[in-house]
Structure 1
Amino acid sequence: MSSNSRGGSILCTGSTMGLLGDLVPSAYTISKAAVIGVVRAAAAELGTKGVRVNAISPHIAAASFDKRVLQQIFPRATSQQLNEMICSNYSMIAKPVSLEDVANAAVYLASDDSKGVNGHNLVLNGDNKLKL
């Protein structure tokens, strides 16, 4: 782009729950599905102006935030049970997505290395057992 051109990259946070619709309350699933739809619509509208719009949709990340959310959904679950939910076959990943994985995806999508990527929902699903 020339120095007079405007452009940029907008990143939104989706979730695999917006694609799968299980484990979490329906309001969360609906809101994350909406994020993915907004990304596609905004990418089409803003792409002609040089602005790329993409989403990052991690599966359950091994973070305290996810444990707190799961604790609210399953108030009687022990800490060990919550850990098992995050790392079990139910979550369909052998190794949970880390916060570093999400950060690396954001750096990639915001960089010029991804200049040809627009309207994409980058699913972070650990070892790729989760097929979406």
Structure 2
Amino acid sequence: MSSMAAVIGGVASHAYTCSKKAVVALTTNTATELGRFGIRVNCVSPAGVATSVTTSCAGLSEEAFEEAMGRVANLKGVAFKEEDIANAVLYLASDDSRYMSGHNLVVVDGGSSIVNPPFEDFSGFSDEQNFV
């Protein structure tokens, strides 16, 4: 599991961003190494979802966190939930993705990664807090 922070700069701390970018690099390298054995390796890089960890780090309620993430998402009218990430992972584990390997599924972000979102507009987040 990676994060949108691995593909968009400035949304999280350096340490968090580096660790998530490392997951993407490990995914591609491992997929290259294991593909000859028919083993697929993929990862998912979702946007921030309201969980007990993310909301406590951000100091926001679940509703406030969802609203904040919704402001930077291109897809409006849909609240991002943990099951959306689970469904993406299930897809990658299923036969429907049998010819995908080394892929970083970034699309579990409500379109945030395609629109140059204004992450600096988050009120309630400090530079030291990870919110994605």
Which bin holds the TM-score, normalised by the shorter protein?
0.7 to 0.9
Aligned residue identity for 1:64: S
How many aligned positions are there? 112
* 1:36 and 2:24 are equivalent in the alignment: yes
Quick one: percent identity of the two aligned structures?
37
Deviation by residue 1:77-99 (Cα, 9 ceiling, x = unmatched): x547645433323x555344311
Aligned to 1:102: 85
CA shift, 1:60, in A, is 1.0
Q: Which amino acid aligns with 1:106?
A: V
Residue aligning to 1:125: 109
Looking at structure 1, the residues matched to 64 and 80 of structure 2 have their Cα atoms a distance apart, in angstroms, of 18
Q: How far apart in 1 are the matches of 2:56 and 2:68?
A: 12
Q: Which runs of 5+ in 2 are unaligned?
A: 116-132
Match of residue 18 from structure 1: 6
Q: CA deviation at 1:109?
A: 0.6
Partner in structure 2 of residue 50 of structure 1:
38
Q: TM-score, normalised to structure 1's length?
A: 0.73
Contact 1:39 1:119 survives alignment (8 Å): yes
TM-score w.r.t. the length of structure 2 is 0.73
1:93–1:34 distance in 2 versus 1, CA, 3 Å: farther
Question: Residue 85 of structure 1 corresponds to which residue in structure 2?
Answer: 68
Q: Conserved in 2, the CA contact under 8 Å of 1:58 and 1:97?
A: no
Q: CA deviation at 1:30?
A: 0.6
Q: Which has the higher contact order (CA 8 A, sep 6+)?
A: 2
- Unpaired stretches in structure 1, ≥5 consecutive residues: 1-12, 72-77
**Aligned partner letter, 1:87:** G
* Alpha-carbon distance in 1 for matches of 2:64, 2:87: 29
